[in-house]
Structure 1
Amino acid sequence: MTTTTPRLTGYAHGGGCACKIPPGELEDVVRGLTPSPSTAREGELVVGLEDGDDAAAVRIRDGLAIIATTDFFTPVVDDPYDWGRIAAANALSDVYAMGGRPVIALNLLCWPRDVLPYDLAAEVLRGGLAVADEAGCHVAGGHSVDDPEPKYGMAVTGTADPDALIRNDAARPGTPLTLTKPLGLGVLNNRHKATGESFAEAIAVMTTLNAAASRAALAAGIRAGTDVTGFGLLGHAHKMARASGVTAVIDSAAVPFLDGAREAAAAGNVPGGSRRNLDWVRPHARIDVDETTALLLADAQTSGGLLLAGEIPGHPVIGEIVAPEDGVTLRVR
Structure 2
Amino acid sequence: MNTPVEIPAIKLTAFSHGGGCGCKIAPAVLAEILRNSQGTLIPEQLLVGIETSDDAAVYQLNDTQALIATTDFFMPIVDDPFDFGRIAATNAISDIYAMGGKPIMALALVAMPVNKLPTEIIGKIIQGGEAACREAGIPIAGGHTIDSVEPIYGLVVMGLVHPDRVKKNTGAKPGDQLILGKPLGVGVYSAALKKGQLDAQGYAQFVALTTQLNKPGIALAELAGVHALTDVTGFGLGGHALELARAGKATVVIDWTRVPLLPNVEAMIGAGTVTGASGRNWLSYGHEIRLSPTLGQVQQDLLTDPQTSGGLLVACAPEAVDEVLAIFAAGGFASAAVIGEVQAGAAQLLVR
Aligned length: 325
Q: Deviations over 1:254-311 (max 9, x none)?
A: 0000112112211222111111112222211111121101111110000001000023
**Structure 2 counterpart of 1:321, from 337, 342, 345:** 342
Structure 2, unmatched stretches of 5+, are 1-6, 330-335
The residue identity in structure 1 corresponding to 2:75 is T
Aligned partner of 1:236 in structure 2 is 240
Match of 1:299 in 2: 305
Match of 1:205 in 2: 209
AA in 2 matched with 1:330: L
| Counterpart residue type for residue 202 of structure 1 | F
The match for 2:26 among 22, 27, 36 is: 22
Runs of 4+ in 1 over 3 A off after TM superposition: 31-38
Give the match for residue 155 of structure 1: 156
Q: Give the TM-score of the pair, scaled to structure 2.
A: 0.89
For the 8 Å contact 1:104–1:156, the answer to whether it is kept is yes
Counterpart for residue 331 of structure 1: 350
CA distance in structure 1 between the partners assigned to 2:127 and 2:162 by the alignment: 31
Percent of aligned pairs sharing the same letter? 44
Point out where structure 1 has 5 or more consecutive residues left out of the alignment. none
Cα distance in 1 for partners of 2:347, 2:227 equals 22
SS in 1 for 2:195: helix
Correspondent of 1:261 among 243, 265, 282: 265
2:132 equivalent to 1:111: no
CA 1:220–1:176: 2 relative to 1, 3 Å: same
State the alpha-carbon separation in 2 of the partners of residues 59 and 245 from structure 1: 26
Q: Once the 2 structures are TM-superposed, how far is the Cα of residue 69 of structure 1 from its aligned partner?
A: 0.4
Q: 1:188·1:260 contact (CA, 8 Å) conserved in 2?
A: no
1:160-239 matches, within 5 Å, as 160-195=161-196, 197=198, 198=200, 199-211=203-215, 213-221=216-224, 222-239=226-243
Residue-by-residue CA offset, 1:49-91 (whole Å, 9 max, x unaligned): 1000000001111121101000000101111000100000000
Cα gap change, 1:115/1:331 in structure 2, threshold over 3 Å: closer, same or farther?
Answer: same
**Greater mean alpha carbon deviation, residues 268-277 or residues 246-255:** 268-277
1:62 maps to which residue? 63
Question: 1:164 is matched by which residue type in structure 2?
Answer: R
Structure 1 residues 32 and 96, CA gap change in structure 2 (3 angstroms): farther
Question: How is 1:4-83 mapped onto 2 (pairs within 5 angstroms)?
Answer: 5-37=9-41, 44-83=45-84
Question: What SS class does the counterpart of residue 127 from structure 1 fall into?
Answer: helix
How far is 1:34 from its partner? Answer: 5.0
Any idea what SS the aligned residue of 1:195 has? coil
Matched position secondary structure for 1:113 = coil
Aligned-partner SS, 1:224? strand
Q: Deviations over 1:176-226 (max 9, x none)?
A: 000000000001001101216342111100000001x21332233213011
Higher mean alpha-carbon deviation, 255-264 vs 62-71, is at 255-264
What is the TM-score with the length of structure 1 in the denominator?
0.94
* Distance (whole Å) between structure 2 residues aligned to residue 269 and residue 117 of structure 1: 31
**Alignment partners' CA distance in 2, 1:142 and 1:36:** 25
User: For 1:151 and 1:262, how far apart are their aligned partners in 2?
Assistant: 30
